Amino acid sequence: MDHVISGVAKFQRDVFPGKKAAFKKLANGQNPEVLFITCADSRIDPNLVTQTEPGDLFICRNAGNIVPPHSNQTGGMTASIEFAVAGLGVTHIVVCGHTDCGAMKGALNPEKLSSMPHVKEWLGHCRCATEVVKEKFGNLDNDRLDDLTKENVLQQIQHLRTHPSVAAKLATNQIQLHGWVYDIGKGTILCWDSASQTFEEMEQAYAESKVV
């Protein structure tokens, strides 16, 4: 914890003064372009990976970068998505999974989650992904972790489409959805290309501005 506290002191002393004008502007409101949904994993830093500044991304994080399908029961993700889309007017939504994801390991082996009932229930939102992987490959063992990570991103994007605020913006071409997988060890991003129906390196996937 000491390094966290000293980091705050360093921010106040060395970083904030150089960005004072930007923070003064942000103090009166925000106007992010992107809703960035990713995992709560401590190894993921959306601003570092995308080299963005405070105010650029509206970030939602949880175990497994999950988007529960819309329902009448209010939850933190549902409210945050609605606020980002209907309130802030973001024009892009990124769902970003990552390699070596603990949540995806749990989804592969739910029997090991008996001591974490809330985690097990939460990962029920990944069931579509696990069923698709099982259907495609005939098994659901640990060797399918990368396949499940990718499929989970796609299924969470499908869940996004059930949210009224997102559906309305999609119907009027005011928002675009993006599926990413971040490779922690390589520092690379794979992006879903709807034309080829595969995940491709970012530069190739966005060569023609392809989105989900």
Q: pLDDT tens-digit profile of 77-103?
A: 999 999 999 999 999 999 999 999 999
Q: pLDDT tens-digit profile of 110-132?
A: 999 999 999 999 999 999 999 99
Q: What are phi and psi of 104, to 5 degrees?
A: -70, -35
What topology does CATH give the domain 31-205?
Answer: Beta-carbonic Anhydrase; Chain A (3.40.1050)
Q: pLDDT tens-digit profile of 2-15?
A: 999 999 999 999 99
Q: What is the band of 141 on the pLDDT scale with cuts at 50, 70, 90?
A: confident
pLDDT at site 204: 67
pLDDT at site 104: 97
Q: Examine the pLDDT at 210 and tell me if it is beyond 90.
A: no
Q: Examine the pLDDT at 206 and tell me if it is beyond 90.
A: no
In this prediction, residues 197-209 reach a mean pLDDT of 78
Taking the C-alpha atoms of residue 7 and residue 13, their distance in angstroms, rounded to an integer, is: 10
Residue 101 is assigned to a ligand binding site? yes
Per domain, the residue ranges of the chain are 1-28, 31-205
What letter represents residue 162's amino acid? T
Residue with tokens 């988007």: 67
Mean of per-residue pLDDT scores for the chain: 94
pLDDT at site 130: 97
What is the pTM for the complete model shown? 0.93
Residue 96 is assigned to a ligand binding site? no
- List C-alpha distances in Å: 187 to 61, 72, 101, 134: 19, 39, 15, 28
